[in-house]
Structure formats: structure tokens, C-alpha cells
Structure 1
């Protein structure tokens, strides 16, 4: 749960009464600790801090920090030791062994899967479901992860060591570890296996075995740093500083100096570059005032160098408004103003600013000015590629377990069909008498049938099987704009909505919304329509919606709007709503 950065809410010194309570709670949770060991962990005089944080998923967590190292974290009124404590007391928790390559997956937020657990000669540790336990690497007793047992030891054996073994909460090299002094794990060889591999065999892992072992760890959809492979028989006996130094030297020799920067610093630098590039080469004075969302989407994104992706959420600013405020305060380059409630616009640009004047456009970023299109559109519009996806629901999770697709995993329709087909063939469910039918087993019954069908339906046609599966998954969609990272969202994509309303003395106006969803600039669309139909147009904020505006143009202009969206912008008809409200007698599109 600490694979991504967390937010610190407060950091205060612990009170005397709370110190005593903490010591009592630790003693209750970990009765194997002696009185002297408790006093070392919770000393009477040394400064001990209580740090309250919010994990990236919103979980409230309390940390207890001694000498700048987090010793314990409390989640849902339960105490867990950090790796810093376990390196001092490695026998504090029952531990499961795994191979070093699996550590990279655990750091990324994956759970420890049972196929990746190494069973020692004495057998698995005796745990019950939910018990706090640790994860170690082969031939090193120093724990590298902390979590809870997904099932009991008895169930692990009955399952044939398949499925999830440990639900990992905290690992070496995650953000909780980085909150401390960042020391590396000590080398604590097991007396029984020192100098040997598992069961007395030399511990050698070739490339093919490493690839197979990596499959044991279940991937999570969250970014993580790449951790160098450790020695196959445990973590190499080098200090963390020596490892980092050696790694840095190698990367500098390879010319990868940019990788030494923090990801936020790299994204901040890219933001500034695209910002200056857009102001210098893309924005025209006639465009002002310019919606900040339009400036980002149509100008800054187009200035992003090929091979790189602009993502404000990965910068230190997190939001476009904060970034523009910083540019206004630090460089006095632009002036941002809220012209309408909830909608910010760039109202002024200092074209003579020294920072802008001295900026040199990087080579290979496509600085050639595009031919001005109708209505002042500077760059040709390319409709996004929209794909329907499906998310695994809780009800269907048993059907996808063999492929480690957990609840919430987003899949292409072809992937869903393949997984269902493979499941049917693996379980030999194809009807022997009629290959067009699939026999319903208990899993398919629970996942796909209604209660009234349990006793009646014994088989389904392939098409019915697939349609029922898709129907019980949550529909999602992916939007890919040229040169930008794919955007995945749950639910149905909002169509461009065209409607007609009455204003004043029964005067008609045409309203258009959701243009931004398809990468269209409402300002440009309004200008083009204004020229086409020779009628006035205005932009209005949509209540309760950020970075979206409504285009309003005089008269019933649905026919012209339809022509513009279908022919000029090439938006598929199925993503446009309201074309049927065109005036009678108008040419149907």
C-alpha cells in the first residue's frame, strides 16, 4: 500500500500517556518481545513521533517514528512492524521465503503468490488467515516485506500451493521505507542453509528460471521504480550507498544522466519546456482570452517531444491551475483570470518577457507553423481512437482467476473471449455431442446464470456464453489522442450532446456540450459555426463540471452542427446525440 507516495497530515511528538499505551499495544500484538526489547523500541526519553498519513488510495495510517525511522504503522487499529524493526528482530513474525526476482514485483504493489513460495525442509510456517507475517529471500532471514496471510497454512497445502499467499502491505524500497534513513537489509544467513541452496542444492537461477519465477508475482496496475536484480542467493553484501554509487556510475557511462533525476523533476522540466514552446510558437494574440484547458490540450500537448508524455499529475504541481499560478508568480509570463465562474482563461501574455525571448525551441519537436484552418484553428484536428473495454466484476472474478485477472482488471473484448475459451477448453466443457454448446459447471453457473436458471439451464451456446460474460462485466472505454497517452475510464463515453432551447421571445438557440471529451476546442468550434451560419455564439460554463463549457449559437443550427462534426471533424455518428432534432425539411445527414 506504500508503492506510491503518501500524504503527511501531521507529525507530532508522542505524549507520555500515549507512549505507555503504545508499549502496551506492541507487547499485546507481539508477545515474543522481551521487556528490554520493548524498551529499545519505545524508549522512555528518546523522541518518538506520531505521524498521521493518507496512503494513495485514501487509507488513514498512523506511523510511529524513532530516530527518523518508522518502526510501526497502524492500519484499522492494528499494528504492523516495518522492515526496520524486523531487521533487528527477524524472528518477530512467521516468514515465507521467495526468490529474489519476485522482490521487484512486491515493491511494485503485487501480492506474494503461492507458486513463488519456497518451501523449506521444516515446512511452511503455521499461520491462520489474516495473521501478520513477513517475506524473506532465499538464504537471507532479513525480511523484505510485511503483510497478512491470505489463507491458513493448511489451506495453502490443500490448494496445492496455488493462488495468493501473502497480501503485502509494506516492502523494502517502498515509500514507507524511504521515509526512514534508507538503509539496506542486513545479511542474515540461515544457520541450516548457510553456504547452500534450498534443500542443500546450490542456488542458481538461470534466465529462463527467472522469467518463470517472475510469473509467480501478481502484477498491479501501478507504476514503480525498477529495482536492480539482487544476487540469486540473497541480497549482495554491499551497502545501499555502494550499490547506488555503482549503479549511478554505470548509468553515467551509458549516457543516461536524466534517469538520475527524480521523476517529478523531469516532468516539471518537461512542463516548463512545453509551456514556453507553446507560448512562443503556438499561441496568437488574437486567441486571447484562451481557456487554460484548451491551452494545455491544443498547444502544450502538441509541443511535447516525440517519445515523451506530458502528465501534470506526475509533476510537483499536480494540477494545471497550480502550474499556471507558478508561471505567473515566478516569471510574470501570463496572467490567468476566472472570466466565468469555475472556468479559468489566459487573458494576457508578456511576449517581450526575457525568459520567453531567450527560450530556444528544441530540435525535432515539430516547430513548423501549421497552416491556419477555418476559424483560426492552428493545428489539424484528428479524431481520437475510441475503444470499448470491459472490467472484471466481483461476480466474474472466479472465472478469471486462472489468468490472475482480479476484480477491476480492464481487458479488451478479444482478451475476454480468449480467456473464456481457454477456460472452457481447459475444463473440457465443450459438449461432446454438439460442439456449439458449452456445459455449465458450478463456476459458470455462479458467474453467468440467474437464480431461476440454476436447475433448468445445463448448457449455453458459445455466443450466449460470451454475451452473458460481457454483460456482467463493467463497461469501460479507452480514448487515444494522437501523440498522447491512452485515457481509460469506467462507464460509457459521453456523446457530444446537441439540443435546442428557447430564449426570450420564443427565440431558438442551439446548445452543444462535451466537445472537450473528443479533444475539440469549444472556442474554435464556436468560431467556425459563427462564420458558417452568420449568427452570434457564446461560451457558457456548465454548472458542476470543471474544464467544460457549453457552446450556444442563435437559431436551430443542428443541421450545420451535424455537418461540421460528421464531415469536417469526422466524429462517428454514434458519438453524437441530438441530430434527430434538426428542423423539418432540412437535409438529413
Structure 2
């Protein structure tokens, strides 16, 4: 259940009345706990938190957290202990034992299959179907997993120890464990669990024959070498495969189909975030602007054929997503180094979730658009910018035959081709002069003003194309290296270079909208500072949370233009303000 990350809905301190009710519920669910032990688990004066979460499959779960460690989780009004609690009270639940290699499969989300269960001389613990139980490994009695018995102990014997034994809900090293202090299991010996006493109770003459059979089964499962361990592991997985069969794969497909677009985008964001931290970000880059991290690192980790869109996620904004990664996952620390400008200042490289993240195959990830800003790393590659036109509702009749509906985007050449084909198909070329096109009712409604309905009967080809493009919504497509194309309405903002005045009438140069072209403002600031030996700072752009402007002392338009045109290869038509450079011979 917690093999994948979950989403926290709320985190509140429990009320006094709810605290008493919880204590009563725990006493009823686990009657072996004494009054003193209950008081220790649910103290009256210490802060106890109630955390409501949604597991990755959508299950609503309530956690009860004491001193930062979740002690119980409640699912469908049933209480289950976590491994943190079981390490304090190892004998709280009936416990099945397995081999250490099987634990890795349980952590990955598998259930405990009966061929992987080690049967002690006294027999299996007495459980009923659906009863809460624990799992430990042979070398240590400290429980490492919690779940429910899939069948009763009697049925386990009658089935010859084949099939599913425990449906696992929570394990050591899963995301629920990671929500706590991430401590490891203590070393609990057989004596600590009073195994000797249990064996004496089990050693009764009436069951001698059965004990001999169980002892033989136990001997067969002693794992004398790695090969035996792997055999048990494979047998456990094989049995699980037989149990689930096609049903499991169908269930996975159904779950994938049932995911909302928002959940899919959340998962893609998390994958790209983890991938970027693990393989792209270097310690030397910190602090790193959050907007730069998204554009240069997360976008480059997006699998081929997919596209990150924060607005389609549950977070809506980059700042909220990173806040979740900081508070819930403890992966990064984000700080506002300048007013309104957030940067990643620290990454927890030892975080279990980050270390256990598996990088996707290289073929699924495009090359990273890393830039150096003149620092000698991988050179910057400018984005490809293309002007497009979108079909409005008024012009839709002209494009229906080409299967272009309202909102479809096209290059200007494609628009001309479709309009030309429409004219020829409807035989609208003027008979007397082929430079003109006869206006039919459709062209009249789409391209003419009401005052022109009675006056204009034909148009020149150029006029026809001009009117068509003029009535379409202008868009632009930006393709950053290694990323999926991004299409936006309107005109692309040019990089704006301006000169302003600060205290004592000192001149400063401001550079805005670098992010639109995939240019890192911090890299530009550093490069300019090195070139002109003047101080530079980053300033937030009013009304744009994820954008900053570069401010450098003096009129440095020449240097800024040279850097953008030569190094970053930004076309001159996308740079505004180059004409404000100081004339040669004049004081800058």
C-alpha cells in the first residue's frame, strides 16, 4: 500500500476527547497491551498528530504520529501498527518468518507467499483469515512488515504451503516508514521473544507426528547457500504470479485507465523531479533558481512523447510542488534568496526515496539542454521559434475539408496551401483574370466586413491570404533542445534590454524575459559580471513569480547584445533595445 508515495491531505494535533477514544480503540484492537503501555503510546501531555493521507491507489488512510514516528495507521476503520510500534513491542502480533532476500520483494509491493515462509518447529502462528499479522526475517525477530492473513493457519497446512500467505500493507523501507525518522529495526534475539517457552508449549506428544513433518519442512527451507535463497525467492514470486495471473495485469491496466489526467501529471512531475536530482543537478550548482531547475533539468528528464504542464497537475504552481517535495519528502530545501525569487539551496542526496529511485533507460530521455553561460561546460543551444496560426470559429468552414477544426494550429505555408486548394476545388479562380479569386458566400462570411458584402466580388490572391491570416489567432511554437514543443497564443515576448537610473543618477542595464528563450538569468549575470567587471544582481519581475531580470551597473547594452547574439545565438529580431547602446566615443 505504501510502496509508492502518498499525498498528505491534513496534519493536525489530536483533541483530548479523540485521544481518549483512540486509546480505547487501541485497547480493543490489541488487548495484550497493558494500561501502562497504552499510556506510553498515547501520552496525555505529549503532542500526538493525526495525519490524513491518500495512498497512491486513492485509499484514504489516517496516521497517528508520536514524536515524528507514525505508530498506527487506520484503514477502513481498522487499526494497524507500524513497524516503529512493533519494534517496541515485537510480540504484539502473530508473526510469520521469511528469508532476508524475500524482504526486498515485500518492500517492492509483493505479498508474502507461503513457499517463502519458514515453518518453526512449533508450527505456524494461529491466525484466522483477515487477521492482522506481522512478518520478520530469520536472522532477526523484529517485524519488518505488517499485513493481514490471506487464509487461516489451518488452510495454509491443508494447501501444502502454496499460495498467498500474507497480504502485505506496510513494510520497513516503504514510504510510510520514510515518513518517520527512518531508523532501522533493532536486533531482537529468540530469547527476547521467548521462543524457547513457545517451543516447550508446542512440544506435546499428541502432535508429535505433525511436528516431525513440520520439522522436515523447516529443514528443507534452511537456505544453506545463496542458491537456495534465490530458489525460495523465485518460488515465492512464481506462486504469486500463479495467484494473480492475468487478473493482476488486467487490474494494473484498469488502474492506469482509472487515473485522472491530474494524477498522471503529478506522477510525471515526481518522476522528472527525482530524475533531475539524481542525474542532472550537481552540488556545485547550488543554490539553483527554481525556474532554471524546472526549465533546464526537469524538462530535459521528461520522457519522449510526454510534456510537463504544471497547470494540469494538482499543484498548479512550481512553488507549491517544490514545497511538497520539501515538507513531505524532505528531498530539497527551498529558500527565497531575493524577494520573490526562490532557489534550491540544499538537496538531501542520502534520502532513501532518492537513492532508491531507478533512472529510466537513456533511450526514453532526450539530451539535456544544459547551458554554461560562458563557464566552459556544455554549450547552450537556442530554442527553435516558429510562428503559427490558429483556426478561429469564424474561419472554420474554410478548413473543414482539410480536417482542421477550431483551435488547430498551422504554419503560414500550410494555411496558404489549404486556402489555395479550397479555391481550386470550388472553381473560384476568376475566368478573365487568374490573379483574382471570386468571392463565394463562405469566403464572404469568413473574410469580408459587413460593409464590404455588396461591394467586393473578388480579391487578389495576396489579399485573400493576408485577410485569412489576419483573422486567424497568431501563436508561436517554441522547441527547447531535448524537449517537447510548447505552443502559446499571441506574440512571443522579445528579450528586453533597457537602461535605467538608480540612486545618485547612476546608470544600470536591465535584461528581462531571458527565461522565454531557455537562457539562465544567473548564467547571464555571471558572464556579464566577468566581462565588464561590474556588479550584477537578479531582481524579481513584478507579476511574474518564476521570472527574474538581470541588473548590471552602467550602460552595458553592447556587452549584453554581444553575449546574446554571439554566445547564445538569439536571433536579433527577438532582442529589443539594442538601438539604445551608447554611441562610440561617448561616456558610458
Give the root-mean-square deviation of aligned CA atoms: 3.5
Equivalent residue number for residue 560 of structure 1: 559
SS where residue 483 of structure 1 aligns? coil
Q: CA deviation at 1:299?
A: 1.4
Change (3 A) 1:293 1:464: same
Cα distance in 2 for residues equivalent to 1:586 and 1:385: 37
Match of 1:281 in 2: 279
Partner of 2:315: 317
> Aligned in 2, Cα 1:557/1:411: closer, same or farther, shift over 3 Å?
same
Secondary structure, aligned partner of 1:505 = helix
1:298 counterpart residue number: 296
Matches within 5 A, 1:494-509: 494-509=493-508
Structure 1 gaps, min length 5: 1-246
Contact 2:435 2:461 in 1 (8 A): yes
Is the aligned partner of 1:352 residue 2:322? no
Change (3 A) 1:546 1:379: farther
Higher helix share: 2
Residues 1:429 and 2:439 aligned together:
no
TM-score, with structure 2 as normaliser: 0.52
**CA distance in 1: counterparts of 2:469 and 2:447, whole angstroms:** 10
1:470 maps to 469
SS of residue paired to 2:296: helix
Q: Greater Rg, structure 1 or structure 2?
A: 2
Query: Counterpart in 2 of 1:399?
Result: 398
What's 2:482 paired with?
483
**Paired residue for 1:85?**
none
Note if contact 1:562-1:579 (Cα within 8 Å) is conserved in structure 2: yes
Shift of 1:513: 0.4
Q: Are positions 1:439 and 2:448 aligned together?
A: no
Aligned to 1:512: 511
* Aligned-partner SS, 1:548: strand
Evaluate the alpha carbon distance shift between residue 371 and residue 539 of structure 1 in structure 2; reply closer, same or farther with a 3 A threshold: closer
- Structure 1 distance, partners of 2:416, 2:585, is 44
Report deviation, 1:421: 1.5
Q: Deviations over 1:538-561 (max 9, x none)?
A: 010111122111110111111111
Query: Using the alignment, how far apart are the partners of 2:371 and 2:403 within structure 1?
Result: 50
| Residues 376 and 248 of structure 1: CA distance in aligned 2, closer, same or farther (over 3 Å) | farther
Asked whether the 8 Å contact 1:438–1:462 carries over to 2, the reply is yes
Offset at residue 379 of structure 1 (A)? 4.4
> Which structure 2 residue ranges, 5 or more long, are not aligned?
1-244
Corresponding residue number in structure 1 for 2:542:
543
Report the CA distance between 1:448 and its aligned residue.
2.4
Structure-2 separation of matches of 1:444 and 1:370: 45
* Length-normalised TM-score, structure 1: 0.52
Q: How does 1:52-451 map to 2 (within 5 A)?
A: 264-364=262-362, 373-376=372-375, 379-403=378-402, 405-451=404-450
Q: Report the CA distance shift for 1:506/1:389 in structure 2 as closer, same or farther (over 3 A).
A: same
Note if contact 2:372-2:380 (Cα within 8 Å) is conserved in structure 1: no
Secondary structure at the counterpart of residue 566 of structure 1: helix
Q: 1:559 to 1:256 in 2, by over 3 A?
A: farther
Aligned to 2:584: 585
Q: Deviations over 1:49-78 (max 9, x none)?
A: xxxxxxxxxxxxxxxxxxxxxxxxxxxxxx
Shift of 1:276: 2.7
Partners of 1:531 and 1:347 in 2: how far apart? 23
CA distance in 2: counterparts of 1:253 and 1:355, whole angstroms = 26
**Residue aligning to 2:175:** none
Q: 1:397 to 1:262 in 2, by over 3 A?
A: closer
CA distance in 1, matches of 2:451, 2:525: 54
- 1:425/1:362 CA distance change after superposition, 3 Å: closer
Q: Distance in 2 between matches of 1:424 and 1:520?
A: 44
| Offset of residue 303 of structure 1 | 2.7
Instruction: Describe the superposition over 1:334-356 as per-residue Cα deviations: whole angstroms up to 9, x where unpaired.
Output: 11123344332212222333333
Structure 1 pair 363–450 and aligned structure 2 pair: CA distance change class (3 A): closer
Cα pair distance change 1:322/1:248, threshold 3 Å: farther
Shift of 1:397: 3.5
The answer to whether the 8 Å contact 1:370/1:378 transfers is no
Aligned partners of 1:500 and 1:518: how far apart in 2? 21
Q: Distance in 1 between matches of 2:485 and 2:452?
A: 40
SS of residue matched to 1:438: strand
Does the Cα contact within 8 Å between 1:391 and 1:474 map onto a contact in 2?
Answer: yes
Secondary structure at the residue paired with 2:543?
coil
| Distance verdict in 2 for CA 1:371–1:439, change over 3 Å | closer
